[in-house]
Amino acid sequence: MPIDPRDIEICLGSDDAASVAPPIEQSAIFPKASLRELLDGLAAEHIHHVYTRGQNPTVEVLERQIANLERAEACKCFGSGMAAISAVMLGLLQSGDHVLFVNQVYGPTLQLARHLERFGIAHEVVLDLNLTSIERSIRPSTRLIWFESPGTMLFRTLDIEGLTALAREHQITTAMDNSWATPLFQKPITMGVDLVMHACSKYLAGHSDVIAGALAGSRALLERIFYRAFLLNGGVLHPFDAWLVNRGLKTLPARMRQLRDDALVVASWLRDHPAVARVHHPGGVNGYDAANCSGLFAFELADARFSAVERVIDRLRLFRTAVSWGGTESLVVTPNRGHNEEDLRAQDVSPGLIRLSVGLEGATALCQDLDDALKHD
Ligand SMILES: *Cc1c(COP(=O)(O)O)cnc(C)c1O
């Protein structure tokens, strides 16, 4: 599927006739002409500019863009991806509820779920992506199914439409972390997902210089999250950071095209390398279209010892060693900490796993860098 021309227009902000970049409204408060007007604003802070912990005009520009890209009614931005995830959990769940996590999900999301046990919220992780197995894990108390597709580290995809149909049957809300695909390559709302979450810190901002998060979904669901969690947790996105994400969006289609194409070249080059046991890239697997892939994937070394992983990572030059992903620079990391092999195997992850975030250096240079690092001498 080529990138939808409408999405390119949304990213460029073509509907704003007044300016190409939105003004940065760096103000904490928005005074009103009368007490009546202030009271009206306070009665509906999710749509009025009263205090920047609630709404801010610059942040709202970005929220409209993300809602449009996701084909959602509404969007709320947050000070980080984790603030958005926390707001979903705290806004929609209560003591006695159960959350089902499907597929490998972002580590801190699960850490949050473990902390929520203290408040009587239970959870379970399903790694068998067969719909029958997923249905078996649904309990009468399951209120939320949270998932990623492709999932963290192994990039396994699941039948999103099948999963959302199953959830609707059981009257369970679905929430999906769509940071990997971006709305250009996957639009979960159109597949029946209720809430879409983005770590805008990654591809949407795209330059490793801002931390931001977003939720897209129905007005009703987002209003509930706004009053029960967002306004009270205080995980607010600053106007300047919203402006940076807005600027990042302008080049999102161009960046994603290059990242996708280069990652496909690097992945297929790695598949043929004798030091590589396996490549985890979702392109063409289980019917997932290679044209809808981003630049983040992983591979396994044939020699899965920590010392071998460390040696390869330390020899890479263009791939810089860092957490996070989605910027212009290529990055490398491993879930292997040198002492957690058992934990990794329990999650079906090989200790020889190395994750790459392909940047804009060009596929030829990146393959050369990998070739140098994988050489035995
Ligand atoms: C980084 C990340 C998050 C969290 O986003 P932050 O902005 O770092 O809080 C959530 N999900 C995925 C898949 C991520 O990679």
Local confidence band at 1 (pLDDT 50, 70, 90 cut-offs): low
Question: Does residue 201 have its Cβ closer than 6 Å to ligand 1?
Answer: yes
- pLDDT (0 to 100) of residue 219: 98
Q: Which atom of ligand 1 is nearest to the CA of 326?
A: 15
Q: What is the model's pLDDT at position 321? A: 98
Which of 76, 34, 29 minimizes the C-alpha distance to 50? 29
Please write the tens of the pLDDT for every residue from 240-278. 999 999 999 999 999 999 999 999 999 999 999 999 999
Res. 202 pLDDT band, cuts 50 70 90: very high
pLDDT attached to residue 14:
77
Residue 377 clears pLDDT 70, i.e. is over it: no
Judged by average pLDDT, the poorest of 180-184, 205-209, 283-287 is 283-287
4: left (phi over 0), alpha (psi -120 to 50) or beta: beta
Mean pLDDT value across the chain: 97
> Which of 180, 196, 201, 238, when mutated, tests ligand 1's pocket best, judged by the most ligand atoms within 8 Å of its CB?
201
Cis peptide before 31 (omega within 30 of 0): no
Q: Specify the residue with its C-alpha closest to ligand 1, atom 12.
A: 106
Residue 127 has pLDDT above 80, yes or no: yes
The rounded percent of the chain whose pLDDT value lies above 90 is 97
Q: Which helix (H) or strand (E) holds 255?
A: helix 252-271
Contacts with 270 (C-beta within 8 Å, 6 or more apart), sequence order:
276, 279, 299, 370
Whether the per-residue pLDDT at 98 is higher than 80: the answer is yes
Overall average pLDDT of the 45-70 stretch? 97
Angle between helices 5-12 and 239-250 (to 10 degrees): 140
Q: Which of 173, 170, 176 is nearest to 158 (CA)?
A: 176
State how far the Cα of 28 lies from the Cα of 369, in Å rounded to an integer.
47
pTM of this structure: 0.97
352 pLDDT above the threshold of 70: yes
DSSP track, 150-173: SPTTT-----HHHHHHHHHHTT-E
Indicate whether residue 194 lines ligand 1 (CB < 6 A). Answer: no
What is the rounded distance in angstroms from the CA atom of residue 374 to the CA atom of residue 377? 9
Compute the chain's Rg from CA coordinates.
21
214 lines ligand 1 (CB under 6 A): no
Structure confidence at residue 367 (pLDDT): 98
CA of 82 to the centre of ligand 1 (A): 6
Check pocket membership of 241 for ligand 1, CB cut-off 6 A: no
- 164 Cβ closer than 6 Å to some ligand 1 atom: no
Of 82, 110, 356, the one to substitute when testing ligand 1's pocket (max ligand atoms within 8 A of C-beta) is: 82
Which of left, alpha, beta for 96 (phi over 0: left; psi -120 to 50: alpha)?
A: left
Whether 63 lines ligand 1, by a CB cut-off of 6 Å, is no
The CA distance from 73 to 291, in Å, is: 26
Angle at 60 between CA 178 and CA 70, to 5 degrees: 30
Q: Which residue type, as a one-letter code, is found at position 207?
A: H
